[in-house]
Structure 1
């Protein structure tokens, strides 16, 4: 996996362009998905009325306080016991102190209330292995704009383009504060960071990372045969993925592509990645 040959016919077969970074080149495919992101940020008022954000207030204490007329955090400011921390909580909400609010038990999905559609990126990677000692070769991203979605896929035409691919991806990811994935906390994000470290790329993007898999399991575990994204798309979203390739075939298809540079080998992989990202965008309104 060390050849540096860089055949060019691939570039001519896709509507994309070569991207150059400090580490070399990779290939970028970009297209418009003609549907809007249906998710809208919720109002922030509910945070101000969640008394349990204050340390020391659980469900029973919250119920007693509400019965006594304390229904909002600002009404607790003069409370002899809870007033000081209520003030700190309100300050953290006002300053959008995400880490502090997470420590208080706010769900990551609820923190999306602080952001707009344009602040989100849906991200999914394709790799040559389940183990991050092996290369990744495709990083797909989906961005929301006014009435449509923008799909960006960054692709390594050869193993030696992985470093440039990762650099290009980090440049894109750094532009938005919220990353949405499916099993990304356990797989995509650690894999991407491990591959960056393998190339001695000292770059990290500090996102609010919303992984939709735990939320899907929490809501649909009892009603779905499994919580794979493919199943969620077909069962809950009515998506027909037609001849979508099984994920376990993707590594071998990429290895074959590297040897032949036959674009037909990778076209279905790009489509698989795109459908995963579109599924993420469509399921988000149901979970957050």
Structure 2
């Protein structure tokens, strides 16, 4: 029987139920059971070849050093006046009687590449979505970025279904996807995710500041898991809007995929139908409805890396 699955989630689900009726998770590639201190879950490990562009340290330093407003007490008007008087950079400002000391302190942090301290410094002057935070992420390096996306049973106060997290390596991304075969495995999936976190990591998400990170924190509180999440976080939704909102119909993730990278997904499950597909898997034991959820999550995470790379390229072309 043929099904018209395009823009028809129910037809897609029925097709998958028939296609995978005699298969199990063990038949899927790259997956295995994972044991953690909080129990077991299922983990898929894949690698995506991808060059992640970052800005040079010189470019980052030049951009930060030319922004005198990073010094407390200097606003737009004061900066303009200082530059008219020859104070064009933090280096020039070192000799200023009022602003010399903080300028020296900030320059020392730049020289030492202390990303955490620089992030904290920027946060006292600008919002989390300020372009300087995007530039600063280059100093962290792709190997310290955690590209992350979650799938859930709803918008709040419900369990996670899947956590996808990818780390940059020499030639792309190594991705882990922590799947709950049963809702009892949520603690194990969270523990798997937390195993990636180190103090210098930067989370990279799309609308994750409003959704993914608060959702994970909520589920950790529910399970009395007290490990804190890193505060360094790049939410690419804000930067994408700043860069492309006047050029594209909207700045949804899949719109960016289509117009920026020529990617159009096939047999993709819409986010709004993810809970229904997962619950069908739980009710029937048929893994078919899980397959597009796992692929949807994987593609979302890969797209994050592509977007960040392109944003860095765009920043590098700016004066």
Matched residue, 2:248: 224
Q: Which residue of 2 aligns with 1:115?
A: 140
Displacement of 1:64 in angstroms is 2.8
Which residue is equivalent to 1:70?
A: 87
Kindly report the root-mean-square deviation, in angstroms, between the aligned alpha carbons of the 2 structures.
2.0
Shift of 1:42: 4.8
Is 1:104 the counterpart of 2:104 in the alignment?
no
> With structure 1 as the length reference, what TM-score do the two structures score?
0.90
Other-structure match for 1:128 = 153
Q: Would the aligned equivalents of 1:120 and 1:178 in 2 still touch at CA under 8 Å?
A: yes
Equivalent-residue separation in structure 1 for 2:297 and 2:55 (angstroms): 24
Asked if residue 26 in structure 1 is aligned to residue 47 in structure 2, the reply is no
Residues 151 and 163, structure 2, Cα contact 8 Å, conserved in 1: yes
In the alignment, what sits opposite 1:235?
259
Count of residues paired in the alignment: 280
Separation (CA, whole Å) in 2 of partners of 1:283 and 1:83: 38
Which whole-Å CA distance do the structure 2 matches of 1:41 and 1:207 have between them? 24
Cα deviation 1:211-259 (Å, max 9, x = unaligned): 0001112222233222210111112221121221111111011111122
Return the TM-score normalized by structure 2.
0.81
Give, in whole Å, the separation in 2 of the partners of 1:65 and 1:216. Answer: 32
Counterpart of 1:56 (choices 42, 54, 73) is: 73
Alignment partners' CA distance in 1, 2:237 and 2:99: 35
2:17 matched to which residue of 1?
Answer: none
Alignment map for 1:37-56 (pairs within 5 Å):
37-43=52-58, 44-46=60-62, 47-56=64-73
Q: Structure 2 stretches of 5 or more lacking a match?
A: 1-22, 313-319
> Partner residue of 1:186?
210
Which structure 2 residues correspond to residues 136-147 of structure 1 after superposition, within 5 A?
A: 136-147=160-171
Report if the CA contact (8 A) 1:41-1:115 is conserved: no
Gaps of 5+ in 1: 1-7
* SS of residue in 2 equivalent to 1:204: coil
Aligned to 2:232, which of 205, 208, 215? 208
Q: CA deviation at 1:62?
A: 2.3
The answer to whether the 8 Å contact 1:11/1:18 transfers is no
